[in-house]
Amino acid sequence: MLHSALINVMVKAARRAGRSLKRDLGEIENLQVSMKGPANFVTAADKRAEQMLYDDLLKARPGYGFIGEEGGTREGTDKSNTWIVDPLDGTTNFLHGIPQFAISIGLQREGVMFAGVIYNPANDELYIAERGKGAFLNDQRLRVAGRKKLDECVIACGLPHIGRGDHELSRREMTELQPKVAGLRRFGAASLDLAFVAAGRLDGYWERNLQPWDIAAGMIMVREAGGVVSGIEGGDTALATGNVVCGNEYVQTELVKVLKPLG
Ligand code: IPD
Ligand code: CA
Ligand code: CA
C-alpha cells in the first residue's frame, strides 16, 4: 500500500527502533531470574530506542521540534512541526516480558495532531494514521466499533500504581463504571489502548494523568478511524491535561457523563 513520504519516514524509524526493542525483549527473560532484575537494562533499551528515533526523524525532517519521554523537549527551527515520541510505551509490561508495548510517534502540525505511527514489535502490529487519509493496521483500514450502549461495551482504563495518581478517584471511577459495562480492561500501554479503540477491538478507553507522548499518536489514530477523543470534561483538552476519553461519539459521550462529575 502506498503512503505519503511523511508516513514512510515514521514507519522506517519505528521499525528500526522496534528491531532494537525486540532484541532487548529476548534478553529480558534471562535477566528476569537475576537478583537485580532487568530494570537498568530496560532503562538502557528505552534510551537507545529514543536516540534511534531522534536520529532517524531529525535526519529526514531537519528543523522539526522533538518532544521525547527520555530526552525532553528539543526546539526546532521549524515552529510548525513537532514530533511527540514515546520510544517505549508500556515499560512495565516490557520489563515483565508481557508483549503489550509499543513505539509511539506523533507529529503535531500547527498545534493539531497531524500523523501517528504506533508499532508493537512483539507481534509486528503497525498502526498508521494521517490527517484526512484514514487509519490503518498493517494496511487494513480501521473503523471504531459501532456499539451505542455501554452495557454492550468493553472499555479499557488506566490504573494508577504505587506513588502515582489518585487511587481514591480511580476506585470511585470503577465503582461507577463496573456495573454499567460488559467488561473493563487494563492493558498497560496507553498508545495501544487508543490504537485498539481505533481498531474497534475496544469500544472505549479513558485514563488520567498521562503525558503528551502517551497519547499524541493514538489521538489521531482514533480520530481518523471515525472516533472521538476528548478530555474528561469533554473538550479537546486531552493533550494539554493528560486526561483522555475516547470511543465512538455515543460511547465517548456516555463515558464523559459518568466520569466528569467524579474528578
Ligand atoms: C505508561 C503506559 C501506561 C499508563 C501510564 C504510562 P510508560 O507509559 O502508557 O499504560 O497507564 O500512565 O505512563 O511509562 O510505559 O511509557
Ligand atoms: Ca508512555
Ligand atoms: Ca515510555
d(CA 257, ligand 1 centre) in Å: 25
d(CA 2, ligand 1 centre) in Å: 32
Question: Does residue 35 surpass a pLDDT of 70?
Answer: no
Q: Can you tell me the distance from the alpha carbon of 3 to that of 87, in angstroms, rounded to the nearest whole number?
A: 22
Q: Can you tell me the distance from the alpha carbon of 220 to that of 223, in angstroms, rounded to the nearest whole number?
A: 5
Q: What average pLDDT does range 57-65 have in this prediction?
A: 98
Q: What average pLDDT does range 237-242 have in this prediction?
A: 98
Ligand positioned closest to the Cα atom of 216: 2
Question: Does residue 34 surpass a pLDDT of 70?
Answer: no
Ligand positioned closest to the Cα atom of 46: 3
Can you give the C-alpha Rg of the chain in angstroms?
Answer: 18
The set of cell numbers assigned to 161 is 500504581
Domains of the chain: 5-141 (3.30.540.10), 150-262 (3.40.190.80)
Write the secondary structure of 43-89 as one string of H (helix), E (strand) and C (coil).
HHHHHHHHHHHHHHHHHHCCCEEEEECCCEEECCCEEEEEEEEEEEE
Q: Can you tell me the distance from the alpha carbon of 247 to that of 107, in angstroms, rounded to the nearest whole number?
A: 21
Ligand positioned closest to the Cα atom of 91: 1
CA 232 to chain centre: 17
Question: Does residue 72 surpass a pLDDT of 90?
Answer: no
Q: Which ligand 1 atom is at minimum distance from the Cα of 214?
A: 9
Question: Does residue 5 surpass a pLDDT of 80?
Answer: yes
Q: Are 246 and 227 in contact (CB under 8 A)?
A: yes
pTM of the model: 0.97
Q: What average pLDDT does range 78-85 have in this prediction?
A: 98
User: 207, 210, 211, 213: which to mutate for ligand 1, most atoms within 8 A of CB?
Assistant: 210
Pocket of ligand 1 (CB under 6 A): 86, 88-91, 158, 188-190, 207, 210, 214
Query: For 64, how many CA atoms within 13 A lie in the half-sphere containing its CB?
Result: 24
